[in-house]
Amino acid sequence: MIEQVAIAFEHKDYQTAAKLLKQLQKESPENPWVQYYLARLNEVSEKHQDAEKIYRQLLRDTRNAKIVTLARQGLRRLQEMELEERQRAISQATAQASDIELGVLVLEPLSTEIKTEASRKFAQIMQLDPYTARLILPSRGWRLYRTGQIGELKFYGKQLQQAGIPCFWATIAQIQQIQVYQVKHFQASTPQATVVCRNEVNQLGSLTFDWSEVTARVVGLLPIFEQVVDVDARRKLEWKTQTQDYAQFCDLHISGRRSILRLYDNGYEFQQGLEIIPQANQNTIRINWNSLSSWIDQQLPQVKIWSDFTSFADTTLDQTEMLSHIKSHIELFRREQTNWDSAFHLYSGLVFVK
């Protein structure tokens, strides 16, 4: 009867093949040829997952060289069909002008309990081996996973979300549209807060807002690099770039106004405006900054603080091409170009648009 099944497949008479296989499954359910043709029937019926499962089971359990070869060919056909289907879907996802804007796909952290299953699904969606997939999925903090056309990133992002893998995507244009104000000092705190600040064209002015308008607070450390003289292995002097200190930043997000108020330790005028820190001129910048941070804590007790910038930066700094499109709005003096500043603005911007 197996020969009759083979003939039915040759003539693409799948209805007859299905009837014969139904009978054979009752008589010889473990027969590898029955299993093979059942996989072929699933394949032509577009039940690709069922077909793949049987093909892989045959590769694992059978010793028949002919069936092993056919099962491998079946898996190859399924992979080619999946690739073609994926390419068609991506082409449709990037058909509109807005779909080809530069964007980023960010993975959110997963708990250890679900990471094994999530790794398997992630590997299948992104065409990776399970070990690599597990290394990529973050357990703590965000991971910048991919950059490219937003339509394609959205296509993958939706599949990941449907598989229970938390992620989100955003365009660089969304980040660029946020207004950033460099805060010089607070002028008042009640009944509303007022800051003296500079806008993006360096005009000095003031901005008044309710504390309730602040939707998020982003803090982070940006390294300060200096050229230092060091001794190499041959005891010769050489110049090296090393991290000498860190600048502390704090962004206050006012989503309703599409604005970020940006403060940083060396740019804040502690001795001007509202007296937040008594005898500020006698303290170190670090003490003044810590006091200012504590005061902001008191004004915004319910607002979430995002502080995982450093771990995010570790996955972002090598994306030089993408980061070159982001204006950092960071006013640190830099002797050399660095991606750290744009990475911080990207992180803060992603918190803003998410």
Give the model's confidence band at 306: pLDDT under 50 very low, under 70 low, under 90 confident, else very high.
Answer: very high
The residue among 49, 18, 14, 48 whose CA lies nearest residue 34 is 18
Better-predicted residue by pLDDT, 76 or 349: 349
The secondary structure element, H or E, covering residue 68 is helix 65-93
Q: Report how far residue 79's alpha carbon sits from residue 55's, in angstroms, rounded to the nearest whole number.
A: 12
Neighbours of 220 (CB within 10 A): 23
Return residue ranges of the chain for CATH 1.25.40. Answer: 2-92
Give the model's confidence band at 79: pLDDT under 50 very low, under 70 low, under 90 confident, else very high.
Answer: confident
Give the model's confidence band at 228: pLDDT under 50 very low, under 70 low, under 90 confident, else very high.
Answer: low
**Average pLDDT over every residue of 132-160:** 94
**What's the CATH number of domain 97-172, 3.30.1390.10, 1.10.357.10, 3.40.50.720, 2.60.40.740?**
3.30.1390.10
Model pLDDT, residue 161: 96
Return residue ranges of the chain for CATH 3.30.1390.10. Answer: 97-172
**Average pLDDT over every residue of 266-286:** 90
Q: Report how far residue 153's alpha carbon sits from residue 172's, in angstroms, rounded to the nearest whole number.
A: 13
| pLDDT above 70 (res 230) | no
Tell me the three-class secondary structure of 252-318, residue by residue.
Answer: EEEHHHCEEEEEECCCCCCCCCCCCCCCHHHCCHHHHHHHHHHHHHHHCCCCCEECCHHHHHHCCCC
* Contact (Cβ atoms closer than 8 angstroms) between residue 155 and residue 167: no
Sole residue written with tokens 């982001």: 326
| pLDDT above 70 (res 178) | yes
Task: Please give the share of the chain, as a percent, with pLDDT higher than 70.
Answer: 95
Average pLDDT, the chain: 90
- E strand segments, the chain: 102-107, 143-149, 167-171, 179-188, 193-198, 204-209, 216-231, 237-254, 259-264, 305-306
Sole residue written with tokens 């060091």: 230
Tell me the three-class secondary structure of 15-42, residue by residue.
Answer: HHHHHHHHHHHHHCCCCHHHHHHHHHHH
Better-predicted residue by pLDDT, 280 or 33: 33
Task: Please give the share of the chain, as a percent, with pLDDT higher than 90.
Answer: 59
Give every CB contact of residue 3 below 8 A, 6+ residues apart in sequence: none
Q: Report how far residue 75's alpha carbon sits from residue 80's, in angstroms, rounded to the nearest whole number.
A: 9
**Average pLDDT over every residue of 295-309:** 97
* Contact (Cβ atoms closer than 8 angstroms) between residue 59 and residue 71: yes
Q: Report how far residue 252's alpha carbon sits from residue 248's, in angstroms, rounded to the nearest whole number.
A: 14
Tell me the CATH number for domain 2-92.
1.25.40
Buried b (16+ CB within 10 A) or exposed e, 227-257: eeeeeeeeeeeeeeeeeeeebbbbbbbbeee
Model pLDDT, residue 239: 58
Residues 109-128: tens digit of each pLDDT: 999 889 999 999 999 899 89
The residue among 75, 30, 69 whose CA lies nearest residue 48 is 75
Model pLDDT, residue 342: 97
Model pLDDT, residue 77: 86
